[in-house]
């Protein structure tokens, strides 16, 4: 389908931003990166037109109400947590990117997706892998128990990374789903750059988009994520695809969170919670409590926060460790939360609540490898820091949630009722929340004592167990 026109031309393509130049230069003039230009032979591929699925060309403006609703044919995968994230299943003709660190479980998840589609009657699945041999895919399928029934027949494996060949096979076999594992190993014959280079990744993705839109086949690309958490390859990949799913979690822990950071056919709010086990990724029965660490009773530095991921409340444990620092600048480490947010909270605690941590080393962590971006985590983080500093645990069965402003003021969070109901269900009976919440019309869950506090200092005092009498005066000086 791709027309090849003109003589081969050589271009120097920046591996960081994909800008191309006629001559080699030490620094890319577009993005400023050094030594990123790589000579690439380019034969201009045919111009392509890719209309979004379900749309048609409108020449005349049309009244919004009269525009035809696009048909969005979905195929449920049969893995509830994943269907939820996708907004009800895979959309035919859509291009989906699944990103995650190496070893997090991308190939495992996609083999399970392939099996789901084959079992649910969504047609056959073409699984093209440039990372492994067909025999290795079979081995994994055997470990996942997918070698009987529909998946054994319905999943067609090919160890092929050349996109033209993959498209040829897809056009003749007409599967319901094509999986390309991974986009970093995919190549296009007309380009000379190595697999994984910006040119190859972008052109491969563009052609696979043609396949998806042109043939109405769902195409899922696997994408590796670099250390800093961005998708390897050009940023343009994220703009190109219809949905970006990312698999998060700690590689050596079992829990995995699947999140949609972009979704043209659904919300980006929902998360799916899985556990990696013997049989691959299994859905977690009670996601709200999945990230709660198991330990006996409250420990200093630990605070439970009822967070909200989309419409789903998830209880997470904030863990802080504060220790007197050596001479020089103290260490600050935060995983699962924004380190800048933690720096800000340390400053606010010092200036507005008299809890000075300037000379202390601070380590902060969310149990279970979860990453939470919502500002409601401010108050639990602040309480955890104070709790560790004073070596006083938070009172039993207590949760805390709220945003902290620069002036030390506390702001309410959305969906408080839903969060507290879930906390109550899991056995918590005290909640520290910002006072402003009280004005809103809502009813606290039965049996839950809601403590509305006006300041950071008050929140810390109400949250922690009382200080032993003779230490009280000492800790007041901290
Ligand atoms: P994999 O899907 O190969 O990761 P990716 O494609 O993202 O690089 O999975 C890697 C890890 O998952 C590997 O360390 C082994 C583990 N695993 C299990 O624990 N159980 C299983 O059933 C399977 C298939 C893998
Ligand atoms: Mg893999």
Return the pLDDT at 231: 62
Ligand in closest contact with the CA of 139: 1
Kindly list the protein residues whose Cβ atom lies closer than 6 A to any atom of ligand 1: 100, 102-108, 140, 143-144, 276, 278-280
| Residue of the CA atom closest to atom 10 of ligand 1 | 103
Ligand 1 atom closest to the CA of 181, numbered from 1: 6
Q: Please indicate whether residue 197 or residue 49 has the higher confidence score (pLDDT).
A: 197
| Residue of the CA atom closest to atom 23 of ligand 1 | 280
pLDDT of 469 > 90? The answer is no
pTM score, two decimals? 0.80
Return the pLDDT at 51: 52
pLDDT in tens, 30-78: 888 888 887 776 655 555 555 555 555 557 888 888 888 777 788 999 9
| 3 state DSSP class of 305 | strand
Ligand 1 atom closest to the CA of 111, numbered from 1: 2
Q: How many other β-carbons are positioned within 10 Å of the β-carbon of residue 30?
A: 14
Ligand 1 atom closest to the CA of 104, numbered from 1: 7
Cα 281 to averaged position of ligand 1 atoms, centre (Å): 9
Residue with tokens 């005349």: 60
pLDDT in tens, 150-173: 888 899 999 999 999 999 999 999
Q: Are 463 and 303 in contact (CB under 8 A)?
A: yes
Q: Please indicate whether residue 361 or residue 227 has the higher confidence score (pLDDT).
A: 361
pLDDT in tens, 99-148: 988 889 999 999 999 999 999 888 899 999 999 999 999 999 999 999 88
Burial of residue 436 (number of CB atoms within 10 Å: 0-12, 13-18, 19+): middle
Q: Give Cα 260 distance to the centre of its chain.
A: 6
- Calpha distance 343→215 (Å, rounded): 51
């Amino acid at each position: 389908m791709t027309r090849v026109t003109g003589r081969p031309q050589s271009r120097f393509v920046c591996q960081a931003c994909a800008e191309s130049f006629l001559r080699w230069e030490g620094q890319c003039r577009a993005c400023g990166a050094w030594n990123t230009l790589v000579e690439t032979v380019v034969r201009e591929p045919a111009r392509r037109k890719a209309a979004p699925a379900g749309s048609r060309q409108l020449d005349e403006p049309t009244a919004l109400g009269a525009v035809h609703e696009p048909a969005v044919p979905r195929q449920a995968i049969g893995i509830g947590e994943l269907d939820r994230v996708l907004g009800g299943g895979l959309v035919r003709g859509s291009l989906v990117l699944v990103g995650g660190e190496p070893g997090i479980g991308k190939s495992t998840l996609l083999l399970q997706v392939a099996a789901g589609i084959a079992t649910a009657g969504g047609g056959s699945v073409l699984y093209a892998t440039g990372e492994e041999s067909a025999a290795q895919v079979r081995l994994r399928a055997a470990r996942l128990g997918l070698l009987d029934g529909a998946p054994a027949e319905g999943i067609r494996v090919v160890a092929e990374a050349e996109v033209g060949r993959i498209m040829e096979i897809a056009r003749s076999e007409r599967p319901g789903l094509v999986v390309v594992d991974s986009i970093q190993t995919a190549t296009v014959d007309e380009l000379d750059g190595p697999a994984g280079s910006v040119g190859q990744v972008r052109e491969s993705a563009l052609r696979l988009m043609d396949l998806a839109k042109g043939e109405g086949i769902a195409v899922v690309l696997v994408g590796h994520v670099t250390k800093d958490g961005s998708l390897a390859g050009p940023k343009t990949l994220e703009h190109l695809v219809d949905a970006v799913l990312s698999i998060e979690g700690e590689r050596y822990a079992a829990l995995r969170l699947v999140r949609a950071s972009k979704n043209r056919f659904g919300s980006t709010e929902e998360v799916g919670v899985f556990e990696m086990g013997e049989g691959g990724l299994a859905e977690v029965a009670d996601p709200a409590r999945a990230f709660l660490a198991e330990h006996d009773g409250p420990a200093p530095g630990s605070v439970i926060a009822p967070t909200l991921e989309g419409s789903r409340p998830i209880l997470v444990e904030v863990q802080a460790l504060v220790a007197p620092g050596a001479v020089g600048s103290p260490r600050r480490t935060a995983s699962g939360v924004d380190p800048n947010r933690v720096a800000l909270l340390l400053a606010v605690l010092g200036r507005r609540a008299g809890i000075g941590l300037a000379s202390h080393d601070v380590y902060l962590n969310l149990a279970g490898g979860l990453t939470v971006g919502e500002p409601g985590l401010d108050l639990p983080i602040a309480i955890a820091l104070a709790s560790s500093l004073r070596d006083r645990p938070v009172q039993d069965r207590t949760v805390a949630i709220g945003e902290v402003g620069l002036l030390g003021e506390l702001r309410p969070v959305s969906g408080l009722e839903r969060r507290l109901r879930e906390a109550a269900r899991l056995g918590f009976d005290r909640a520290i929340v910002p006072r402003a919440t009280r004005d809103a019309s809502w009813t606290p869950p039965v049996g839950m004592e809601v403590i509305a506090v006006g300041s950071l200092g008050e929140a810390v005092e109400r949250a922690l167990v009382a200080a032993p009498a003779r230490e009280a005066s000492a800790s007041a000086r901290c």
